[in-house]
Amino acid sequence: MAVRSEAVYPVSWKQGRIASWLVTVDHKRIGILYIVTALVMFAGGGLMALLMRAQLTTPNEQFVTKNTYDELMTMHGTVMIFLVVVPIMAGFGNFLVPLMIGARDMAFPRLNAFSYWTYLLGCIVLWMSWFSASGPARSGWTAYTPLSEAAFTPGHGQDYWILSLHILSISSLAGAINFLVTIHNMRTRGMTWMRIPLFVWAMETYSILLVAVLPALSAGLTLLLLDRQAGTHFFIPSQGGNVILYQHVFWFFGHPEVYIMVLPAMGMISEILPVFSRKPIFGYKAIAFSTIGIAFFSMLVWAHHMFAVGMPIGLDAFFMISSMIIAVPTGIKIFNWLATTWRGNLIFDTPMLFALGFIALFTMGGLSGIFLAAFPVDWQVTDTYYVVAHFHYVLFGGTMFGIFGGLFYWWPKMFGRMLDERLGKIQFWLMFVGFNVAFLPMHMLGLLGMPRRIWTYHHGGLWETYNMISTIGSGIMSIGLLVFVANVWIAHVLRRGVRVGNDPWLADTLEWYAASPPIPHNFDSVPYVTSARPLRDLRRRLAEELP
Amino acid sequence: MPARVRRKLPVLTFVLLAVLATAGAAAAANGGFTPQYPHSPNAKSINHAYDLIFILTAAVFVIVETLLVVFIWKYRSRGRRRDVEGPQVHGHTRLELLWTAGPVLILAVIAAFIFVKLPAIANVPASSAADRVNITVEAHQFYWQFDYPNGAKSINDLHVPVDQVVYLTIKSADVDHSWWIPQLGGKTDAIPGRTNHTWFKADKTGTFLGQCAEFCGVFHEAMAARVIATSSRAYTDYIDKTASADLGRAEFQGVCATCHGMQGEGGYGPAIAANPILTQPQSLTPLLRNGGRALMPAVGNDWTDAQIKALVDYVGKHVYKGATSGG
């Protein structure tokens, strides 16, 4: 294929500052659109979390009403999962995968643009549901039947919620297929499967999982929509429907979804740690195959969310053992990351801080998961704040720390300017401390008997103490996030961000061969890849050739 | 190298033990470090399982976080240039097998321990089949109804005899709920169209608190339950006499008052104290059975005539303030 050297947007009106973003099919711009949109959604979801924390600070608080609380709780979960984490990973994948494998763009650039714009439509539909007749959905992000049926949740908020998730599923499915085709077909010369960056492995697995489990969600939600709108009764027990069926279908999607959200973050960690340890990743193959292993087992563990519904003990035992098996490849990753830092030359730039923070916090989330996998113990802790603590350690302490590490790491590649390191470090420490202050006490609250999703509580004493501490922690974290906003503002609006060359971190992978920011067609030429670390090879060759 | 490791081993062991001891002390004081102090054999066994997992995972946690901190400290750059590389180690098969086998072993121990403890948790003690008490728990938006063997009913307060096996049959009349009294065992979901079972055996007299653990709607938080364990005599007294005499009050305060206020003064729902419908069983009954036009759930969709009569009698006498005195 001949490389185009003329302007990429030859029609004049398409070259406008805004118009060029609207019509773009460039994977890098689409990636940035994804990331920026997801960060705006993150601010919205975070604001809802702060409102909930304010309501829970003291017992018998009346800061928001019961109904509002239920709406906040439902929308916070839905926004963070479907509008923030899954699409921001698609954003990183979009920006990075073609660059990392030495491709010119994604396999289907127009489909790629379609994915982004349907994602934005899904966001709009979900947020607009606040204005529907009786408010947005308020049956939890899981929308368990029969509570989410029309009889118990009247109004159209729930219908908009279903519509939005359908739109987002289409977006994610198109994106996932695009990633798969790109990774399988567009790797540059020499980029074999054992040389692709581990983040690409993670995106491959992310995509396989999305293709495998999104249809289950779509089917379940379609049945729910039919129940609500067309008078069917798939999940209405009084008319012969089955409530548990919904839970099975939902969690068959819902548990792999956790790994859809966390595996790409693990991929980012696997990129960042070696670069800032000045060492190769320890056990490339083990990490790549454990990613695949986690993906496979993630589809066999769904009913560990349902231990209390009264399944036969044999099934409980099966899902306990499968859930424990999945801890093994997770453990492999953690030990391999630790070994990567062993005897390295550890440089604590902000991406590295977030990567190390990921290891520290994700370990906690992984270990508290073992309590939940052991089903008799789960009978005590499920549906309490213990679970809330557990999955925030995985999805915030894990995934979001990974995402911020990734943002600081790839920011110069995306925008050509560095974010300020000192502000970055301040942000990290505020978030790390705030996170633990906010979520560690939730384990205790759960064990003290505080169920999740309650609007208020009537106990003083320890319940109040821990809730108060937790709210303070959420405040500390939000200051950290404001520091990030300030950092971006200073770097870009005030243009203080230091301009950098192709490879400011002395990294290993191919995206650092491109300019910062990369030219529209990414590379004028791509070096022949002979290892998993083409940029290091290149640096060494240059060093040898120069006297 | 091995000598250095040997020198540090006692220090590491000491740190590990100190951390475990602190954790143990914290757990004993129960500031929320273990499930609540159990008062039923099944809850006790769950706590044993919890304790074992706590010890093993705490050990893994300490190992991982210690390694992390030690590596961060030991291998920090110390002003070395960025292009100074560490040893280019790509992996170590034996080491990697070791940290695969380690977790497998730990998890196998946990799973085995769970299976050993399982009969004491899941199985209803067989010897007491004759004198066990069978009670049906029916979850509603937003209250618990208990049906005793003699036909008596109570709302939100479950009276049981101490030291006797109580076998619960758990149902739901509307949406998913979850039965949970932390000191008496784990959760059992109440799911419409399904019948679940659980059991407990209170080992002392007293009141055990719990609340609905599956999000069930706007008053999920208010759906509290109390288990009141008394002597066998007091229990028999309760179900034979007190329960039926007290039913109307219990129904009003446990069911209606959640939305309409303890005196019917209104709250989330409208004020009803002055509403003449309280004195008209023919209008009140369909409202209870089918729910209201707007938000009121069908709270009494499966109530017996006696239950409805008890409520009508109670509200007529104690809640209704006359059409004019309201406002």
CATH number of domain containing A360: 1.20.210.10
The string of pLDDT tens digits covering residues A353-369 is 999 999 999 999 999 99
CA distance B174 to chain A (A): 8
Per the CB < 8 Å rule, is B221 touching A457?
Answer: yes
Q: Is the pLDDT of residue B1 over 50?
A: no
Q: In whole angstroms, give the CA distance from residue A153 to residue B141.
A: 13
Q: Is the pLDDT of residue B169 over 60?
A: yes
Active-site annotation holds for A255: yes
Give the structural domain span for A264.
24-545
In a domain, A524, yes or no: yes
Q: Is the pLDDT of residue B324 over 90?
A: no
The string of pLDDT tens digits covering residues A302-329 is 999 999 999 999 999 999 999 999 999 9
Which of A381, A450, A441 is closest to B209 using CA atoms? Answer: A450
Q: Is the pLDDT of residue B25 over 60?
A: no
The string of pLDDT tens digits covering residues A374-385 is 999 999 999 999
In a domain, A6, yes or no: no
In a domain, A12, yes or no: no
pLDDT recorded at residue B279:
87
Helix (H) or strand (E) segment spanning residue A199: helix A198-230
Active-site annotation holds for A452: yes
Q: Is A137 exposed, middle or buried (0-12, 13-18, 19+ CB in 10 A)?
A: buried
Active-site annotation holds for A171: yes
Per the CB < 8 Å rule, is B220 touching A454?
Answer: yes
- Identify all chain B residues contacting A393, using CB atoms and an 8 Å cutoff: none
Cα dihedral sign, B257-B262-B266-B268: negative
Which residue in chain B is spatially nearest to A380 when comparing CA positions? Answer: B186
Mean pLDDT of A289-299: 94
In a domain, A460, yes or no: yes
Active-site annotation holds for A153: no
Which of A491, A517, A489 is closest to A504 using CA atoms? Answer: A517
Structure tokens at A34: 């994804």
pLDDT recorded at residue A545:
87
**Of A259, A337, A386, A463, which is the active-site residue?**
A259
CA distance B264 to chain A (A): 20
CA distance A153 to chain B (A): 9
Cα dihedral sign, A538-A539-A541-A542: positive
Q: How is residue A148 annotated by DSSP?
A: T
In a domain, A10, yes or no: no
pLDDT recorded at residue A1:
43
In a domain, A17, yes or no: no
In a domain, A7, yes or no: no
**Of A188, A205, A330, A382, which is the active-site residue?**
A330
Q: Is the pLDDT of residue A346 over 90?
A: yes
Q: At what angle do helices A327-341 and B41-74 cross, to 10 degrees?
A: 20
Per the CB < 8 Å rule, is A451 touching B189?
Answer: no
Per the CB < 8 Å rule, is A346 touching B46?
Answer: no
Contact at 8 Å (CB) between A261 and A205?
no
Q: Is the pLDDT of residue B129 over 70?
A: no
Average pLDDT over chain A reads: 95
The single residue listed with the structure tokens 């992000």 is A141
Best residue in A380, A448, A466 to probe B by mutation, most B CBs within 10 Å? A380
Per the CB < 8 Å rule, is B191 touching A339?
Answer: no
Mean pLDDT of B157-179: 96
How much is the pTM?
0.93
Active-site annotation holds for A259: yes
CA distance B127 to chain A (A): 21
Mean pLDDT of B162-174: 95
Which residue in chain B is spatially nearest to A364 when comparing CA positions? Answer: B61
The string of pLDDT tens digits covering residues A17-46 is 888 999 999 999 999 999 999 999 999 999
Best residue in B215, B223, B259 to probe A by mutation, most A CBs within 10 Å? B215
Active-site annotation holds for A270: yes
Domain count along chain A? 1
Of A147, A325, A381, the CB nearest to B216: A147
Which residue in chain B is spatially nearest to A314 when comparing CA positions? Answer: B115
ipTM comes to 0.93
Domains of chain B, CATH where assigned = 2-74+93-122 (no CATH), 127-256 (2.60.40.420), 263-319 (no CATH)
- Identify all chain A residues contacting B104, using CB atoms and an 8 Å cutoff: 328
CA distance B126 to chain A (A): 18
- Is residue B58 helix, strand or coil? helix
The string of pLDDT tens digits covering residues B57-75 is 999 999 999 999 999 999 9
Active-site annotation holds for A141: yes
Average pLDDT over chain B reads: 90
Which residue in chain B is spatially nearest to A360 when comparing CA positions? Answer: B65
Which of B49, B61, B74 is closest to B19 using CA atoms? Answer: B61
Active-site annotation holds for A422: no
Which of A148, A248, A452, A455 is closest to B180 using CA atoms? Answer: A452
Per the CB < 8 Å rule, is B77 touching A243?
Answer: no
Active-site annotation holds for A279: no
The string of pLDDT tens digits covering residues B197-253 is 999 999 999 999 999 999 999 999 999 999 999 999 999 999 999 999 999 999 999
Alpha helices in A313-452 (DSSP H): 313-325, 327-341, 350-373, 375-381, 385-392, 401-415, 421-448
- The band of B11, judged by pLDDT with boundaries at 50, 70 and 90, is confident
pLDDT recorded at residue B208:
97
pLDDT recorded at residue B131:
79
Per the CB < 8 Å rule, is A378 touching B186?
Answer: yes
CA distance A345 to chain B (A): 5
- Identify all chain B residues contacting A375, using CB atoms and an 8 Å cutoff: 114
pLDDT recorded at residue B215:
97
**Of A71, A105, A159, A316, which is the active-site residue?**
A105
Per the CB < 8 Å rule, is A279 touching B86?
Answer: yes
pLDDT recorded at residue A412:
97
